[in-house]
Amino acid sequence: MDFKLTEEQLEIKSAVREFCLKEFTPELAMECDREEKFPWDLHRKAARLGFVGIHFPEEYGGGGYGVLENVLVVEEMCRVDSTLGTAIMLGDFACDLILRHGTEEQKERWLPKVARGEAVSAGAFTEPARGSDITKMDTTAVKEGDEWVINGTKTLISNATIASFFITLCQTNPEAEPTYRGQSLIIVERETPGVDVTKIGGKLGIRSSPTGEVSFSDVRVPEENLLGELNRGFYHSLYFFDESRIEIAAQAVGIAQGALDRALKYAKEREAFGRKIAEFQAISHKLADMATKVEAARLLTYKAAWVVDHGKLDPMLASMAKTYAGRIAVEVADEAIQIFGGYGYIGEYEVERFYRDAKITEIYEGTREIQKNTIARYLVGR
Amino acid sequence: MGGESPMDFELTEEQLEIKRAVREFCLKEFTDEVMRRYAESEEFPWDLYRKAAQLGFIGIHMPEEYGGQGYGYLENVLVTEEMVRANPELGITLVFGDFGTELILMFGTEEQKRRYIPRITRGEGLSAAAFTEPSGGSDISKRLETVAVKEGDEWVINGSKMFITNANISDFIIVLCQTDLEVEPPYRGQSLFIVDRGTPGVDVDKLTGKLGLKPSQTCSVSFSDVRVPEENLLGELNRGFYHTLQYLNESRLEIAAQGVGLAQGALDMALKYAKERTLFGEPLYRLQAVSHKLADMAIKVEAARLLTYKAAWLADQGETDPMISSMAKVYAARAGFEVVEEAAQIFGGYFFFEDYPIERFYRIAKVIEVYEGTKEVQKDTIARFLLKRPT
């Protein structure tokens, strides 16, 4: 065993941290949160420094690192700022599907511009009527000549309003039983006629990451936009989620660590009844609990990432990391507000925003309940 | 500081082999009949202890020259985890057989090591360590009531200690005493002494009626004009408090491992039961309320294990991190308690009967959060280190 990051990994972490401390100002974060604005500038700068798609191979503009290094980048970004960190982290959402299943041509066409920060990607799985259940899709793709004709609606799609393309899960064989054996992934460019995007505003948290509804009316895409195997889209998606939820776990670890950092700093400075509040056992034991949870969540997340980098994806472990890290992010942010007292409730003290941003990690890319179904399935199967 | 090699979350083949060997031993020896016999008699299971020692499972982390196997803390954690997983009553009783011996390993003279350690690792004797006093609980920083005064080339000890494991049957008791009555703060005037079995003036009372851990002996010990030769001083004079803290930072790894083993054992049983038992026409595990409980339990076990292995691995690198050790102990002990509680829930009414082993787990779950530093003391430690870090 070896529980230490390498020198190089620590350098990546501190480079990301340095960048974020300089660029992620609280004022900018509050503005992007208030106005629901994507931080294009920061995204491009982060990409130039290699922090977007650090785990893409170098030939596609990435850093050639592994999932663990991507986890470190995400963790540090979200630690410095939960709102801006999340927005940038989601900038390459679903590109792993192209990495894993794309043709050489698809990889060359889509990945470098995302890694360079010139484009943002999106994955369109969720439908209005189905939520976490993607075993059947109302969005259909029908082959006509050498084109696919897509009709349907996707909702709660991250980056919907800014993405250059949507990796869309469609029903390609409506007769298949079970239905999920007739699904395929198709890449749809945003400018294709018939694609219509509506922003969904007023989110509780991660307001700097735009969310929207995407509808497809007789959208025609060339057949070479099929991603991966025909009618294997469901399986490709599941595999993708098993991996991508490690990134959400990292987001949660970062948010929790960021809330803890702020609570610690405040507890050492703030005085009440003639002493620093950190000297009260009720506060110091809260901090101890928070730190223990962060450490445990980090270990689960690093292990899940490490396992993937060693070619042995363990869906149970990835789900454990995501469930636990998501839960403790909410708990730690909650306790951070408690330590700040009344000020914690006010935007300028930041923990309020961390608290709002934390909750999504228990919901998207498979709710906590879906994760537990996965964990239980593997447990019972052993 | 970064590591020289990449992270690695896997045990080596050799470590896995140790785990398997311990498990095999336990499944064979810890039968229900054996278990019941010792729980009823509240006697120490000498036969099991000797067998475990013969296989090298007692003091596996002691150097070979003192009869150990020369492995590290991580391997000791693995042994503890597997023993407790198979049967917490017997497992904890056995792994506590060498309780306190690490103090001799860490601070003893060559002569003390040769004299005391091999009998323990061979399973011929037990050790005991006496820190807690009737009025003191977790606080050993106060002026101790147990006092050692130098007279000629002997130390004369008077006082009493409470909740001392193995004291009635051990080869020796390592006793933390106040040796300087004037010094402020008082913990700068404490020292450790080895008191041999049979020394006149030592009076040991076995405490019975414990909630669980019945085969493990727990005692109160009183010392009346107990005379020990000066060479029985262990470590440095007046540094006993510091020696003890350093020891506890490492011994709590073993307690964390007990928590992990307890939780894993309870999860094993609950999982098996949920697969076999049917309710409303289908296996219990198909009920989402049950399967989600199992998922939560498994997460806690995995998180507790990672914290514990990391703490032990750091100790093996010579970089013991008291904060991580305390985190491991707090988290694993809590996980043990919570997982056992949920396992009992899955067993329903059957959990309440001693024929179902989950009942034994339930009896033991609480004590892991209490001994070797309550969870409150651990949180004090974690907070102290956290607040020292620059923000």
Going by C-alpha positions, the residue among A239, A242, A235 that lies closest to residue A180 is A235
Size of interface A-B (CB pairs under 8 A): 147
Q: Using a CB-CB distance cutoff of 8 angstroms, which residues of chain B are in contact with residue A11? A: 2
Decide: A233 and A124 in contact? Cβ < 8 Å. no
With 0-12 CB in 10 A as exposed, 13-18 as middle and 19+ as buried, what is A153?
Answer: middle
Classify B180 as helix, strand or coil. Answer: coil
Cα-based angle B133, B137, B138 (whole degrees, multiple of 5): 120
Mean residue pLDDT across chain B: 95
- Report the distance separating Cα A112 and Cα A119, nearest Å: 9
> Is A2 close to B299, i.e. CB distance below 8 A?
no
> Is B306 close to A300, i.e. CB distance below 8 A?
yes
The two tokens of residue A368 are: 């906590």
**CB-facing half-sphere around the CA of B71: CA atoms within 13 A:** 21
How distant is the alpha carbon of residue B69 from its chain centre?
A: 19
At B277, the amino acid letter reads R
Going by C-alpha positions, the residue among B312, B166, B331 that lies closest to residue A297 is B331
Q: Using a CB-CB distance cutoff of 8 angstroms, which residues of chain A are in contact with residue B3? A: 2, 4-7
* pLDDT tens, residue by residue, B41-78: 999 999 999 999 999 999 999 999 999 999 999 999 99
Chain A nearest-CA distance from B15, in A, is 10
Q: State the pairing for strand pair A271-272/A275-276.
A: antiparallel
Residue that has been written with the tokens 């130098």 in this structure = B150
Q: Please enumerate in sequence order all residues whose Cβ is within 8 A of that of B314, keeping only pairs 6 or more positions apart, or say none.
A: A3, B320, B321, B324
Cα Rg, chain B, nearest whole Å: 21
Closest partner CB to A288 (pick from B12, B288, B386)? B386
Q: Find the residue in B nearest to A375 (Cα).
A: B295
Q: State the pairing for strand pair B147-151/B154-165.
A: antiparallel
Residue-wise pLDDT tens for chain B (391 aa)?
A: 678 789 999 999 999 999 999 999 999 999 989 998 998 999 999 999 999 999 999 999 999 999 999 999 999 999 999 999 999 999 999 999 999 999 999 999 999 999 999 999 999 999 999 999 998 777 888 999 999 999 999 999 999 999 999 999 999 999 999 999 999 999 999 999 999 999 999 999 999 888 889 999 999 999 999 999 999 999 999 999 999 999 998 999 999 999 999 999 999 999 999 999 988 889 999 999 999 999 999 999 999 999 999 999 999 999 999 999 999 999 999 999 999 999 999 998 777 776 778 888 988 999 999 998 899 999 999 999 999 988 7
Q: Does B9 touch chain A (CB under 8 A)?
A: yes
Going by C-alpha positions, the residue among A108, A110, A94, A111 that lies closest to residue A159 is A94
> Is B5 close to A6, i.e. CB distance below 8 A?
yes
Q: Please enumerate in sequence order all residues whose Cβ is within 8 A of that of A347, keeping only pairs 6 or more positions apart, or say none.
A: A30, A33, A353
At A132, the amino acid letter reads S
Chain B interface, mutation test: which of A295, A301, A303, A362, most B Cβ atoms within 10 Å?
A295
Task: Mark residue A210 as left, alpha or beta (left: phi above 0; alpha: psi -120 to 50; beta: remaining).
Answer: beta
**CB-facing half-sphere around the CA of A371: CA atoms within 13 A:** 31
Chain A nearest-CA distance from B74, in A, is 10
Chain A nearest-CA distance from B5, in A, is 6
CB atoms within 10 A of CB A317: 27
Decide: B77 and B247 in contact? Cβ < 8 Å. no
Classify A12 as helix, strand or coil. Answer: helix
Residue that has been written with the tokens 């629901």 in this structure = A36
The two tokens of residue A124 are: 């369109």
> What residue spans of B277-351 are helical by DSSP H?
288-316, 322-347
> Is B7 close to A302, i.e. CB distance below 8 A?
yes
**In the prediction, which pLDDT does B1 show?**
66
Going by C-alpha positions, the residue among A329, A223, A358, A265 that lies closest to residue B389 is A265
At A32, the amino acid letter reads C
Q: Find the residue in A nearest to B304 (Cα).
A: A296
- Report the distance separating Cα A5 and Cα B86, nearest Å: 34
> Is B288 close to A287, i.e. CB distance below 8 A?
no
Orientation of helix A233-269 relative to helix A281-309, angle to 10°: 150
**In the prediction, which pLDDT does A370 show?**
93
Going by C-alpha positions, the residue among A143, A137, A146 that lies closest to residue A168 is A137
Q: State the pairing for strand pair B233-234/B278-279.
A: unpaired
Decide: A47 and A93 in contact? Cβ < 8 Å. no
At B351, the amino acid letter reads F
Q: Using a CB-CB distance cutoff of 8 angstroms, which residues of chain B are in contact with residue A3? A: 7, 309-310, 313-314
At B201, the amino acid letter reads G
Q: Using a CB-CB distance cutoff of 8 angstroms, which residues of chain A are in contact with residue B73? A: none
**In the prediction, which pLDDT does B2 show?**
77
Measured distance between the N- and C-terminal CA atoms of chain A, rounded to whole angstroms: 24
> What residue spans of B87-162 are helical by DSSP H?
88-95, 101-107, 110-121
DSSP B284: G
Q: Does B331 touch chain A (CB under 8 A)?
A: yes
> Is B6 close to A292, i.e. CB distance below 8 A?
no
Chain B nearest-CA distance from A120, in A, is 32
Chain A interface, mutation test: which of B277, B297, B299, most A Cβ atoms within 10 Å?
B299
The two tokens of residue B327 are: 């985190």
Chain B nearest-CA distance from A257, in A, is 12
Residue that has been written with the tokens 């007769």 in this structure = A175
Q: State the pairing for strand pair A165-171/A121-124.
A: parallel
Q: Using a CB-CB distance cutoff of 8 angstroms, which residues of chain B are in contact with residue A302? A: 7, 9
CB atoms within 10 A of CB B366: 14
> Computed from CA positions of residues B132, B137, B139, B141, in that sequence, does the dihedral angle turn out positive or negative?
negative
- Report the distance separating Cα A309 and Cα A312, nearest Å: 7
Q: Find the residue in B nearest to A304 (Cα).
A: B9
Q: Which domains does chain A have, with CATH numbers?
A: 7-115 (1.10.540.10), 121-231 (2.40.110.10), 235-381 (1.20.140.10)
Q: Using a CB-CB distance cutoff of 8 angstroms, which residues of chain B are in contact with residue A375? A: 294-295, 298-299
Q: Does the interface ipTM go beyond 0.95? A: no
- Report the distance separating Cα B318 and Cα A152, nearest Å: 61
Chain B nearest-CA distance from A263, in A, is 10
DSSP B287: S
**CB-facing half-sphere around the CA of B30: CA atoms within 13 A:** 24
Q: Does B344 touch chain A (CB under 8 A)?
A: no
Q: Using a CB-CB distance cutoff of 8 angstroms, which residues of chain B are in contact with residue A264? A: 386-387, 389, 391
E runs forming strands in chain A: 121-124, 140-144, 147-158, 165-171, 183-189, 195-199, 211-222, 226-227, 271-272, 275-276
Q: Using a CB-CB distance cutoff of 8 angstroms, which residues of chain A are in contact with residue B276? A: none
Closest partner CB to B313 (pick from A3, A288, A371)? A3
Chain A nearest-CA distance from B71, in A, is 14
- Report the distance separating Cα A2 and Cα A10, nearest Å: 15
CB atoms within 10 A of CB B153: 8
- Report the distance separating Cα A13 and Cα A354, nearest Å: 20
The two tokens of residue B85 are: 């997983």
Orientation of helix B288-316 relative to helix B240-276, angle to 10°: 150
Q: Provide the chain B residues 265-324 that lie in CB contact (below 8 A) with chain A.
A: 271, 274-275, 285, 288, 291-292, 294-296, 298-299, 302-304, 306-307, 309-310, 313-314, 323-324
> What residue spans of chain B are helical by DSSP H?
13-29, 32-41, 46-54, 73-86, 88-95, 101-107, 110-121, 240-276, 288-316, 322-347, 358-368, 375-388
Chain A nearest-CA distance from B268, in A, is 10
Q: What is the mean pLDDT for each group of 10 consecutive residues in chain A (382 residues)?
A: 96 98 97 97 97 97 97 98 98 97 97 97 95 91 98 97 98 96 98 98 96 98 98 97 96 98 97 95 97 98 97 94 98 98 92 98 94 95 80
> What residue spans of A169-280 are helical by DSSP H?
233-269
Q: Find the residue in A nearest to B382 (Cα).
A: A288
Q: Does B6 touch chain A (CB under 8 A)?
A: yes
Q: Find the residue in A nearest to B327 (Cα).
A: A292
> Is B291 close to A376, i.e. CB distance below 8 A?
yes
Q: Does B388 touch chain A (CB under 8 A)?
A: no
CB atoms within 10 A of CB A222: 12
Q: Using a CB-CB distance cutoff of 8 angstroms, which residues of chain A are in contact with residue B324? A: 295
- Residue A365: active-site member: yes
- Report the distance separating Cα A176 and Cα A137, nearest Å: 12
Q: Using a CB-CB distance cutoff of 8 angstroms, which residues of chain B are in contact with residue A261? A: 391
Which residues of B are the active-site residues?
A: 372
Closest partner CB to B310 (pick from A3, A289, A377)? A3
Going by C-alpha positions, the residue among B307, B341, B339 that lies closest to residue B324 is B307
- Report the distance separating Cα B136 and Cα B177, nearest Å: 13
